[in-house]
Structure 1
């Protein structure tokens, strides 16, 4: 319901993202490689607020739009609090940890949050170190969402954030 409200109110959402968020909410497994920022499902309020206020300062979003995006991002995280949450496996490029978003205090809070999340049995967080060099597995954010259909068959959707900043997807 929250996703439908957000879609109606915001034309500025990334193309393809409403579909992604819908599948994300149905997924039993979420596997993500993130190479820019800490993934939205793992962001603290301070971190996502700093990101969104950066868009406001750049003129890429209004204050109101930024506030709506913050609330929407935090609402998406509720899927991790379900009685049967999905398995979340996130591989973060080392740059996600080293890029100072929001200043020292925001980053300390964010890194402590990652540490806490990594102790959950349904969350796996791995770091792709800089030392991988050209062997880094992905050059764009990539997500694989796996759900089980009504017949018990696994259905996968792969989403890739392209250079033009929208989401492309494939299904199997």
Structure 2
């Protein structure tokens, strides 16, 4: 038995069908053993400790994207382990969210309305880290899942700079910019990010002020996607699951309400002025 590989009973108890994490570990161990490598040898090739690889192979820890990519390099595979990692990652996300992210990456137009926190597409790495660490401290997610959340935010933001880029309409409830997340420097950098976003040629940013009151049509966050074929879909979340809706009977009224909110809310110029005023107070 390889050093650091764990007791034999652990090997027998690991069921690849029990979870995506277990399937990833079983595949890593199987590929390693097929090549006659010890855990120490694979660990050296991947730049990890054999103890860490043992925890992955036995399903005690979830793999990270970096580990999956290094496994692909070590084995000369083409994204085999990276694809397996995405299955693991998706298992820790709300139902419906992975499918939404796939559609978001190809959408021609993205319309979002957010309450309380900055939307993932606009978060700085530091802001997203504070949110993920807060969830970890509450015990809602593991350290590995916190790391993957931050990675996923960065991956989603790549959609904003693809060619051709999507049109992105972002409407933020005033609570998004008033609620302090992390140290003042984190919020200052986040506001700078919003101001940069507003200057992009394919974006529109509006802040929905508190005093709009009951005139706002949405109480919860919502995202509307227009796909390249001009079909529409919406995405919204509850505490337990995300819901991706494709039926135009339900999506079209949301789009109408979104346009009404855009008309009622302050313009981008007024919103940028509000952000600049708030940013100056942080200097």
TM-score under structure 1 length normalisation: 0.91
Look up the SS of the partner of 1:160 in the other structure: strand
Aligned residue pairs: how many? Answer: 166
* Alignment check: 8 A CA contact 1:6 1:72 kept: no
Equivalent residue for 1:157?
A: 233
Q: Residue 198 of structure 2 aligns with which residue?
A: 118
Q: Which has the higher strand share?
A: 1
1:125 is paired with a residue whose SS is strand
1:169 Cα deviation from its structure 2 partner: 2.3
Structure 2 contact 234–245 (Cα < 8 Å) conserved: yes
For residue 8 of structure 1, the aligned residue among 87, 91, 101 is: 87
Contact 1:41 1:73 in 2 (8 A): yes
CA shift, 1:127, in A, is: 0.6
When structure 1 is superposed on structure 2, of 16-25 and 130-139 the one drifting more is: 130-139
Higher helix share: 2
CA deviations on 1:135-168 (whole Å, 9 max, x unpaired) are 222111111100123xxxx100011223x34221
1:84: how far off?
0.8
* Equivalent in the alignment of 1:68: 148
Instruction: State the Cα deviation string for residues 6-62 of structure 1 (Å, max 9, x = none).
Output: 541132201110111011011000000101211100000000000000001111111
Q: Determine whether 1:27 maps to 2:107.
A: yes
Measured on the aligned residues, the alpha-carbon RMSD in Å equals: 1.6
Q: Which has the higher contact order (CA 8 A, sep 6+)?
A: 1
* Residues 126 and 5 of structure 1, relative CA distance in 2, 3 Å threshold: farther
Q: Relative to structure 1, is the Cα distance of residues 63 and 29 closer, same or farther in structure 2, using a 3 angstrom cutoff? A: same
Q: Secondary structure at the match of 1:26?
A: coil
5+ long unaligned stretches in structure 1: none
Residue 64 of structure 1 aligns to a residue whose secondary structure is helix
Give the match's secondary structure for 1:118. helix
Question: CA distance change for structure 1 residues 128 and 122 in 2, over 3 Å: closer, same or farther?
Answer: same
Distance 1:161 1:63 in 2: 23
Structure 2: any 5+ residue segments left out of the alignment? Answer: 1-78, 249-283
Q: 1:5 to 1:72 in 2, by over 3 A?
A: farther
Q: Can you list the C-alpha shifts for 1:58-97, whole angstroms capped at 9, x where unaligned?
A: 1111111100110111111001111211001010000000
Q: Which has the larger radius of gyration?
A: 2
105, 117, 125: which one aligns with 1:45: 125
